[in-house]
Structure 1
Amino acid sequence: MAKLRELIVPPPLKDRLAQGHPWLYRDKLPKDSHFATGEWLKLRCSNWSGFGLWENKGPIAVRIFSRRQLPDPVWFKAQVRQAWELRGPLRQQNCTAYRWLFGEGDGLPGLTVDLYGQYAVVQTYMEGAQRLLDWLVPALREIAPLQGILWRTKHLENPDDRQALDQKTQRLWGQEPPHEITVKEHGLAFQVNLHTGQKTGLFLDHRENRRFIGPLCQQKTVLNCFAYTGAFSLYALRGGARRVTSVDIGKNLAAVAEANIHLNQLDPSRHDFVTADCFDLLQRYHQTQQTFEVVILDPPSFAKSKQNRFAALRAYTKLNALALQCVAPNGLLVSASCTSQVGPEAFKEMLASAAAQSQRRLQILHEAGQPLDHPVPAGFPEGRYLKFIVCKVSDLV
């Protein structure tokens, strides 16, 4: 094994590193720092030290894995097992789809693992993470009773960018999954397709938010915008919604939503799926004065980088202002964002601006972030990407 090389990190970064931030940005390092992608480095910053993996592309030059030791297969498997044990409550609730590894959140930057029944889907977000696959596959196999492990690459800095284009899925081990498999979540069943890139048919990070919404929809009319395959709509129907309208511009999503409704023996006569642009449809609903007692907004990410942050906030403000015009008096606006560039406080400020534009009064009743299987290190605010807010909407007084 080649001798481990060292990288001397500028002293001003020490406090951030000591707090547990897992990234070293390229523009903060000496300009003569040159290493091979996937090379392990010993990092030193004053009296702080750690071990990280170098990457030649992108703004993040080093992802930090350990303070104590150079990672090896035994160390790596211990981290995977800790993540498995953390998700124990989900298995006890008979949830068969969840994020087993959440990259930086579980101390293994640059990769995630989603579990769908007996199939694990690995995603890597940097080229250097490929060297970890030889450690990851046996660890997954030893800890869980799997039938197959798939791998996707996505070299992006935001691992939850739902608009990202994935490369072709590859089989790392075991059997190829069937075209469709069924997973369970809080008593509901969902069809997922592991061959269709990142969008399997179920966004795992909203599991608890979907469950929270269900009872609030009893005897209500519900508009679910950016519905995808209708997961929020299923919870609303099970919660006793009088009528649910799902809206998404994607092709063939209506058929999948309908299949999920039948799979759960819910009443299809209480559900409509409209294939349309959500901005356009909300505008039409406003013009025709059509309102709903619950409006759900779960759009894709509007910003892939810090440079897009202000454009994203403008888009969120426009979307929420339109939606507020379509909420019946004393109804609920349910607004979410997966844009990591927009923090929780900025998101609430956006809602206040949207309320001012639409001349409505907003009262925040509930606020949530990510669930158990998407943990956020205390020293890594960038990991807190999901915002979910439920507001009561009323006329100005």
Structure 2
Amino acid sequence: MISYSPILDAIEQADVSENELRRIFHGRGHCFPSLEHINLDFYPPFLFLTSYQEIETDELERLVHQVWNKASVYADFITGLVYQQRAGRETSSRVFYGTLPSPHIVVELGLSYQVDLLTHQNTGIFPDMRNGRSFVVSQSKHKKVLNLFSYTCGFSLAAMHGGATSVVNMDMNKGVLAQGKVNHKLNGFDENVRFFPHDILKSFGKLKKLGPFELIIIDPPSFQKGSFELTKDYQKILRRLSDIVSNKATLLLCANSPDLTEKKFMELITEHAGDGFNFEYRLESALGFPEKDQNKNLKALVYRYHGL
């Protein structure tokens, strides 16, 4: 019988009193044998329990009961629990306890995001990129920012919060960009932000006209059917960076694929972006994301462009 003690210990040690989005237990980092398929997040006021493999009904009931029972000490902050099963391409979500807020708004780093724990595989914000968003806040003042593969525009919110002059968001998915617009309205960022539902690989002419940019964030999916495959298409973007970047610009280049090591990622950047892009450092993993192998988790690398 599986022991869920590490999850229960993580709940006991969690500080949920700040009512901010956070990861409580990260099994996907492979630091907890037999629990590699389980994550637990706090989307105030709900717990969000995720499994990346199918759990039989009786075992799921046991897991959920233990998690909820342990979380009962935080009744002032935690009012419900959603379970999401992500086995292969099949994703299903279920409310076990409580009634979800509608709309469901969570806060991170002083910014508000509307999330959805039931309808889609992804909730509307990725907790593992917290340090990336914090970095963008610190680097954006008076800068012209480009946010590629913008999803629901978390980096754009961070840039505006940090004092950016303007932000361009580009993602071919109109639905996530519409959610990004909602998030900007939630935070009062109604000006100097643009949203383009375009295929990035076919839009460098437009980006060149809109640039040059002083801060560029590239955070693509590892795979998006029919449009992007990280190990085959990232280099196409890297080759065009010098056309849209200003001298001394900062770049946050991200990859979240266990098949692409940090070394291979850096080699890819050097080969296809060119000598003008110099590596500075890798952002640390967000709190709550222990990893057995740092090459298999999110890689967020900071580069500086110094021209040719």
TM tier, smaller: 0.7 to 0.9
- Matched residue of 1:141: which SS? helix
Q: Distance in 2 between matches of 1:202 and 1:127?
A: 24
Tell me the CA shift for residue 316 of structure 1: 1.6
Q: Give matches, 1:1-397, under 5 Å.
A: 71=2, 75-76=3-4, 78-84=5-11, 87-88=14-15, 91=16, 94=18, 96-105=20-29, 107=32, 108-128=35-55, 132-144=59-71, 145=75, 146-156=78-88, 165-171=89-95, 173-266=96-189, 268-286=190-208, 288=209, 290-302=211-223, 312-356=230-274, 360-377=275-292, 380=293, 384-396=296-308
- Report the aligned-residue RMSD: 2.4
Q: Distance in 2 between matches of 1:339 and 1:320?
A: 17
Note closer, same or farther for the CA distance 1:233–1:104 as it changes in structure 2 (3 Å cut). closer
Q: Distance in 1 between matches of 2:264 and 2:147?
A: 23
Note closer, same or farther for the CA distance 1:303–1:117 as it changes in structure 2 (3 Å cut). same
Over residues 58-79 of structure 1, what are the superposed CA-to-partner deviations in whole Å (9 max), with x where a residue is unaligned? xxxxxxxxxxxx64xxx42x31
- Matched residue of 1:168: which SS? strand
- Which structure 1 segments of 5+ residues have no match? 1-69, 157-164, 305-310
Q: Distance in 2 between matches of 1:371 and 1:135?
A: 29
Could you tell me the TM-score, scaled by structure 2's length? 0.87
Note closer, same or farther for the CA distance 1:179–1:251 as it changes in structure 2 (3 Å cut). farther
Count of equivalent residues = 297
Larger Rg: 1
Note closer, same or farther for the CA distance 1:131–1:236 as it changes in structure 2 (3 Å cut). same
Note closer, same or farther for the CA distance 1:335–1:147 as it changes in structure 2 (3 Å cut). same
Q: Distance in 2 between matches of 1:352 and 1:96?
A: 37
Amino acid at match of 2:167: V
User: Identical aligned pairs, as a percentage?
Assistant: 26
For the Cα contact (< 8 Å) 1:215–1:239, is it kept in 2?
yes
Q: Distance in 1 between matches of 2:178 and 2:153?
A: 10
Tell me the CA shift for residue 213 of structure 1: 1.4
Note closer, same or farther for the CA distance 1:224–1:290 as it changes in structure 2 (3 Å cut). same
Q: Distance in 2 between matches of 1:376 and 1:86?
A: 18
Tell me the CA shift for residue 102 of structure 1: 1.6
Q: Which residue of 2 aligns with 1:4?
A: none
For the Cα contact (< 8 Å) 1:209–1:388, is it kept in 2?
yes
Over residues 166-188 of structure 1, what are the superposed CA-to-partner deviations in whole Å (9 max), with x where a residue is unaligned? 423222x2124134211111111
Q: Distance in 2 between matches of 1:376 and 1:131?
A: 29
Q: Distance in 2 between matches of 1:201 and 1:289?
A: 27
Q: Distance in 1 between matches of 2:39 and 2:57?
A: 12
Tell me the CA shift for residue 95 of structure 1: 5.5
Q: Distance in 1 between matches of 2:223 and 2:263?
A: 17
For the Cα contact (< 8 Å) 1:179–1:193, is it kept in 2?
no
Tell me the CA shift for residue 247 of structure 1: 1.0
- State the 4+ residue runs in structure 1 displaced beyond 4 angstroms: 128-131
Amino acid at match of 1:393: Y
Over residues 213-271 of structure 1, what are the superposed CA-to-partner deviations in whole Å (9 max), with x where a residue is unaligned? 112111010010111111100110011100111111112333322222222233x2121
Tell me the CA shift for residue 355 of structure 1: 2.1
Tell me the CA shift for residue 352 of structure 1: 0.6
Higher relative contact order (CA 8 A, sep 6+): 2
